[in-house]
Structure 1
Amino acid sequence: MKPWETLSSKILISDSWLTLTADTCQLPNGQIIEPYYVLHEADWVHVFAQADDGRILTVKQFRYGVKKVCLELPGGVIDEGEAPILAAQRELLEETGYTATHWQTLGTMYANPARQTNTIHLFFATGLDLKGEQQLDVSEDIEFDFLAIPEIQQKIETNEFSQALHIASFYRGLHALTLNTNK
């Protein structure tokens, strides 16, 4: 399969959070698509953090796009020049006050490869230790809690844990947990 060719790209919006471009693309069959909108954002991290008792650390925060409080895994944006593992460690500490002694990379996935350019880096963290207070950004109001795996699965079924990318990260973390247990 041949890739599309970008004939031109025009920046429509650009700020510290994202860049939106309108591209003119040519498909391998010669067809031109104009405009094709692409959202350029920084990469993100998600942290599947498991306590010694097996429960998973979750966060709740208001998400303006859907205007609802959402239950998620800890995570956030990777700062420019920051290594993904360092971003994961920073986000876990900032959002929950916890650090972890053991970190395992679980891989990456795309947020929405049809329209977005960013990647999500997923990490499994264990050996959790509460180091202090949350260190939230001015726009953040986050509550955290430890939930049992079956409780999270039930919340997925009832749409209380309903952010698709966090659900995917949860199940990748659960899969890694199963693999680690079977070693």
Structure 2
Amino acid sequence: MTWKILSSQQLMKRPPFLEIEQQQVEVRPGQIVDDFYQVHLMDFALVIPFLEDGRVEVIRQYKHGPRREVLGFPAGHVDPGEEPGPAATRELLEETGLAPAQMRHLGSYVDHGNARVCQGHYYVAQGCRRAARPDPGDLEDFAYETLTPQEIDAAIKAGDFGVMHHVAAWGLWKIHNS
């Protein structure tokens, strides 16, 4: 059964990054939740970049969510009006300077089951070659590492990947390649 939104009140709006709303929701006939909250962030695209030799280029950087330096894959916002596939290719080029021979979509998933938050679009890029100098922007300081798939598995087990989206992307890739 689909929940029915009876009313919605916007509590905060900071375009294009954040919106918070309070909803009154009927979850089943006669059962109403007066203060159900939804948080909306911008959707994102994340890319696992495989180089021509089968290794993967990863980024080491500080992330404010886990409050530490972590490993991750190129990722960023899908801009308003932009499609996820081109956003993934753009982010890959901006953050690493890599261009893929082939991009494959691994799936799109909502970040939080009830609050929604955002939707992540996951991709794998095969046959990546250096096409430009990385230009990640002024808020991001990157160090680059090239790892084998086995080294990525070990880094995930060691907790070096501190953001779940990146761990999930690797799991999606492994499922699609088993």
Identify whether the pair has TM-score above 0.5, normalized to the shorter chain.
Answer: yes
**Residue identity matched to 1:56:** V
1:11 counterpart residue number: 10
Deviates more, 1:56-65 or 1:150-159: 56-65
Q: Secondary structure at the match of 1:26?
A: strand
Cα offset, 1:77, TM superposition? 0.8
Residue in structure 2 matched with residue 61 of structure 1 by the alignment: 61
Contiguous gaps of at least 5 residues in structure 1: 179-183
Unaligned runs of 5+ in 2: none
Structure 1 position 145 matched with structure 2 position 145: yes
**Structure 1 counterpart of 2:52:** 52
For 1:35 and 1:144, the matched residues in 2 are separated by 44
Q: Is 2:66–2:162's contact at 8 Å kept on the other side of the alignment?
A: no
> What is the TM-score of this pair, normalised by structure 2?
0.92
The aligned counterpart of 1:125 is 125
The answer to whether the 8 Å contact 1:40/1:117 transfers is yes
Q: Which structure features the higher share of strand residues?
A: 2
TM norm structure 1: 0.89
Tell me what 1:111 maps to: 111
Number of residue pairs aligned between Structure 1 and Structure 2: 177
Letter in 2 for 1:103: M
Kindly state the Cα deviation for residue 117 of structure 1 after the two structures are TM-superposed. Answer: 4.6
User: Is the 1:73–1:170 Cα contact (8 Å) retained in structure 2?
Assistant: no
CA contact (8 A) 2:52 2:129 kept: no
Question: How far apart are the structure 2 equivalents of 1:36 and 1:161?
Answer: 32
Equivalent residue of 1:150, what SS? helix
